[in-house]
Amino acid sequence: MNELFSTLSDGTPVHRWTLERAGVRVRVLSYGGIVQSVEVPDRDGRTADVVLGFPSVDGYLAHPEPYLGALIGRYANRIEGGRFALDGRTYTVTPNEGANTLHGGARGFDKRVWDAEPVEHGVRLSRVSPDGEEGFPGRLETAVTCTLDASGALHLAYEAVTDAPTVVNPTNHTYWNLAGAASGTPATGHTLRLAASRYTPVDARLIPAGDAADVSGTRFDFRAPRPAGPGYDHNFVLDKGVTAGPEEAAELYDAESGRVLTVATTEPGLQVYTADHLAAGPFASGAGIALETQHFPDSPNRPGFPSTVLRPGEVFRSETVYGFSVR
């Protein structure tokens, strides 16, 4: 279902798409490609919204920095110093976190209105990012297709093409709270499991500090399920690497409701953010956990990391699947 949801101050309409299948209801906004809500049942069949979101566009405009539910691009995570070199040329991109560039710059994909069209069991969002937008080279055509499969799992399939060499690293920034977004229960009490034997250490600026490190014997070891706890805004190096199809990377579980979220992806990394600094409307520190499937932070400046370079004639493809169940 498609409905007119709001109108921005410049007159641009914002539409909301509602997807329903197998007892799951998802609402997606054309503004920022935002996943506004995901309603799923608990073990007793009681349905609740399990993502942090606002009832109106005004909430997202007033609180843009948490990126609640938004599509992130062109480049998710951080680029050190707001610059990178590609084919012998240095590009300067908009710094918006001190000297660094975070989540695509001052006005990334999360603050744009996307075109939207129906597809079977979902909606296809698309937009053209012109050459030089936020300093990134190349005219980038991007599409994200959001669908529900027969089990009620939410699929986000990304595609992009460019007319000049560039870097691309999109993700989705939904914050999950399986007890219910309105429950008041911190998501940091959820049990988390990650298929990751390494993580990316960072400095005080959250820029990678050297190579990936072994999680063994550290607080970053989630190979066996344990409470998430606070204090995480880190990239985990998934054991599977880049894959042709989505493979399971993470599981989040709320024992009280019985709800289980599984995350499968083609991406090589997963940024876990426990929202330690969240302050947006009714949502405070630890109210949700973001599980951002992506390539690694600052990859354009790190030759040893999986490449995020996209060239003319190539098609960037990525897919992440969020599955819902109970136990």
How much is the pLDDT for 166?
98
Kindly give the confidence (pLDDT) of every residue in the chain, 327 residues in length, as a single tens digit, with 9 standing for 90 and above. 899 999 999 999 999 999 999 999 999 999 999 999 999 999 999 999 999 999 999 999 999 999 999 999 999 999 999 999 999 999 999 999 999 999 999 999 999 999 999 999 999 999 999 999 999 999 999 999 999 999 999 999 999 999 999 999 999 999 999 999 999 999 999 999 999 999 999 999 999 998 999 999 999 999 999 999 999 999 999 999 999 999 999 999 999 999 999 999 999 999 999 999 999 999 999 999 999 999 999 999 999 999 999 999 999 999 999 999 999
The pLDDT of residue 230 is 98
Q: Which of 173, 190, 234, 295 is catalytic?
A: 173
Catalytic residue, from 39, 251, 267, 292: name it.
292
Is position 121 annotated as part of the catalytic site? no
The CATH classification of domain 2-189+228-236+270-326, taken from the options 3.20.20.70, 2.70.98.10, 2.60.40.1220, 2.60.220.10:
2.70.98.10
Q: How many CB atoms lie within 10 A of CB 152?
A: 21
* Residue 87 phi, psi dihedral angles, 5° rounding: 55, 40
Q: Give CA–CA dist 189/125, Å, rounded.
A: 34
Residue 266: CA count within 13 A, CB half-sphere: 15
Q: What is the structure's pLDDT at 1?
A: 86
Whole-prediction pTM: 0.97
**Residues facing residue 325 across a β-bridge:** 260
**292 among known catalytic residues:** yes
Alpha helical stretches, state H, 84-194: none
